[in-house]
Structure 1
């Protein structure tokens, strides 16, 4: 049966719900790091409590590996739709649990222990959510709109970050600092849990991917797709990780953890930083869609190269911008960075999806995404914080992201599609 444009748009919307929730939680935990470190650890030494919180942040992303292996295997052997319901449930309940979790002052060491378990459960679910959604959308979309479809998917995902930042900054404006730190911080986590439960209900109407059904009908389903990946396509997986790293790391640093640096090290007002970061998320989500559309016209690879070159240039000037002390300069920089990241994200995921065939696509995407996010992005806040606080080397993020841009530009020419 032919897929109508209305049906395609509805499917895009429903798939984006889970992705939006994923990044809502990701961004919320990063934004809430100072509050979480105060409530769930002994804060007699604030820097130690902050590092422990980043450790729990990392643990959730390490759990992505296990979730990625399990859910992507399920997606490649049993269908793309099946993991959707499970992963969204496993994301929603722990987020609601964080909203209700007693603090260190109330139950002692059990508080950080339970928080760690909840983050691990979320990480396990997140490992399968995005890869299954990417494979499903890529296979479901019209041939001439695949990049646009992926742009919509990740525009929705990043809108989750925008909503987290908007809600966080709104509550900070409406509540006194004492009220927010006392109980107001729980509201965004409760909202996330409720939205996730609503998403589970809405996703029930999705149909299976036509490409997977065709693959199954022709007996093309592999018993263990990961074995084939490691045996025959390991170089493609490494290439996928490398082309993902620059934009993923830049998103984390420039739109999430650097906001705290701008506030503490460069003395910008907290309200100002919250507003420009929220604007950044919105523009990033919008330009993911715009550059997804352009990728269908001038090829995803070309858009990606333009985005990475722009990211390299902006990264090189980032420290000078931060040190300028000018609100106008910082605002322009965040706007340009958000647009640039839109070009990278709006093109890179369609590139990844076309690198692998239907029979192993979900597993390959999971391996690329979860290695990037679970191994590298998971420890990035911890490493950046350690280097800045212990070695006083604030230029490391700029040098690291610039290096990633150069490596990805050098290797993108080896790209092949299947």
Structure 2
């Protein structure tokens, strides 16, 4: 009689992590809940930018007020590298979970403060200064959140499905944005523009502060990454699978290269993806409303549809990278945006269907790159330095090239140079292609061997 005994945990594929446990899946959900809330709040600022400009800046010059609003948005990004470095070092010493707890608390407090903040008409320039300070604190927290999440989720993922699991980090970005736009559409449906400018724009920030309590509770019960526990203890974790042999090729090039070169390459790899992302998720709706005369309702709901399409595409792109490799999928994103950026922007006018086509195509292409950022970065940097390296490289690239994209586009448009703004994204997409060409193919690498 043949034996029916099976291995306790059948291997996933060529790497050391077996299939995901129930604890892994629950931890993934807890991490994503907090990230979705953080990005919902962050996106709400962009969604309600025209009304925040009216409330918190001098509305005597609407163009200057909108530029100032996007400028504050960009400043929040510029402090993200500092948050990524500081919180990244904490995560590499005290664990990923501790940082994810701290950042959700900071986000909740900052959101509540924005909701209660007096307007420019009430306290003058101090309203603008106060908003700037809060956005700086939020940017600091977001840098830590992004660094920890981009390390944590790949570390708890089954190795053969790390691309798909890693795409969940960007799912939280798109998911938070979708919630922000849906809420923006609903609020603008119920309230008129005067009510929105007066107090309606505060609603998303109050809701975020309250919802963060749920996310905080869920994160308290997350597991700590086994990869972190391995380097944190002289003894291996009892539930850590035995190391398996794997092909030596995926990580060898990055492992032998100086750390600062890998950081520069990751900055370049992220640049095109993040500039295109913030162009098509944060800027185009404001552009359509302010400069093409599109209705607020039309712009909001069209953007929701486009980002839902991106949400669906993200895990599909991640799964594809688990089969054919990271490089081909990143090239699809970079080449696609370089070719289509200017034609897609030129398509947009006052008719919502033009924004629907342009933004849906743009967001789906961006999703190809965004889906892989977490897995690629975790596969390039070693566990002991992973979080603060990601915090520096990712946050710096997003700050310099992503957070500034709406401001750069708005500046070009305000100076009748809209035609030139597309070349900014195109140049960065070329940089992404070059950086990805130099980086090694990392599909299937065992993170313990990086």
Give TM-score scaled by structure 1 length.
0.92
Report the alpha carbon displacement of residue 219 of structure 1 after superposing the two structures with TM: 9.4
User: For the residues of structure 1 that align with 2:363 and 2:221, how far apart are their CA atoms?
Assistant: 34
The answer for the alignment partner of 1:321 in structure 2 is: 347
2:41 aligned residue: 25
Instruction: Give the match for residue 382 of structure 2.
Output: 357
Q: Return the match for 1:165 from 181, 199, 222.
A: 181
CA distance in 1, matches of 2:274, 2:20: 33
For residues 250-399 of structure 1, the aligned pairs below 5 Å read 250-322=276-348, 327-390=352-415, 392-399=416-423
Q: Deviations over 1:43-101 (max 9, x none)?
A: 11222222222222222222212211110000112211111111110111111111111
Q: Give 5+ residue unaligned stretches, structure 1.
A: 221-228
CA distance in 1, matches of 2:63, 2:293: 18
**1:143-180 deviation digits (Å, cap 9, x = unpaired):** 11111111123212310000001101111012222222
1:166-202: CA deviation from partner (whole Å, max 9, x where unpaired): 1011110122222222221111111111122221111
Deviation per residue, 1:286-331 (Å, 9 max, x gap) = 21112112221221222111222222222142243226x6644442
Q: Secondary structure at the match of 1:290?
A: helix
* Residue 87 of structure 2 corresponds to residue 71 of structure 1: yes
Asked if the contact 1:15/1:153 (under 8 Å) is kept, the reply is: no
Between structure 1 and structure 2, the one with the greater Rg is 2
Tell me, in whole angstroms, the C-alpha distance in 2 between the residues paired with 1:343 and 1:162.
18
Aligned-pair CA distance for 1:3: 7.3
Alignment of 1:56 with 2:66, yes or no, is no
- 1:239 to 2:265 alignment: yes
Alignment-derived partner of residue 435 in structure 2: 411
Question: Corresponding residue for 1:401?
Answer: 425
Q: 2:241 corresponds to which residue?
A: none
The answer to whether the Cα contact below 8 Å between 1:33 and 1:50 also exists between their aligned partners in 2 is: yes
- SS across alignment from 1:185: helix
Q: Number of residue pairs matched?
A: 407
Query: 1 or 2, which has the higher helix percentage?
Result: 1
Among residues 39, 58, 62, which one is paired with 1:42 in the alignment?
A: 58
Relative to the length of structure 2, the TM-score reads: 0.85
Query: For the Cα contact (< 8 Å) 2:269–2:432, is it kept in 1?
Result: yes
Greater CA deviation, 247-256 or 85-94? 247-256
CA distance in structure 2 between the aligned counterparts of 1:169 and 1:196, rounded to whole angstroms: 22
Mean CA deviation greater in 102-111 or 360-369: 102-111
Structure 2 residue runs without a partner (length 5+):
1-8, 10-17, 237-254, 443-449
Task: Quote the Cα distance in structure 1 between the aligned partners of 2:360 and 2:401.
Answer: 25
Paired with 1:66 and 1:327, the residues of 2 have a C-alpha distance of 39
Q: CA 1:80/1:319 → structure 2, altered by over 3 Å: closer, same or farther?
A: closer
Give the CA RMSD over aligned residues: 2.2
- Distance in structure 1 (CA, Å) of the matches to 2:94 and 2:139: 22
Runs of 4+ aligned structure 1 residues displaced above 4 Å come to 1-4
| 1:145 equivalent among 153, 157, 161 | 161
Q: Compared with structure 1, are the counterparts of its residues 345 and 113 closer, same or farther at alpha carbon in structure 2 (3 Å cutoff)?
A: same
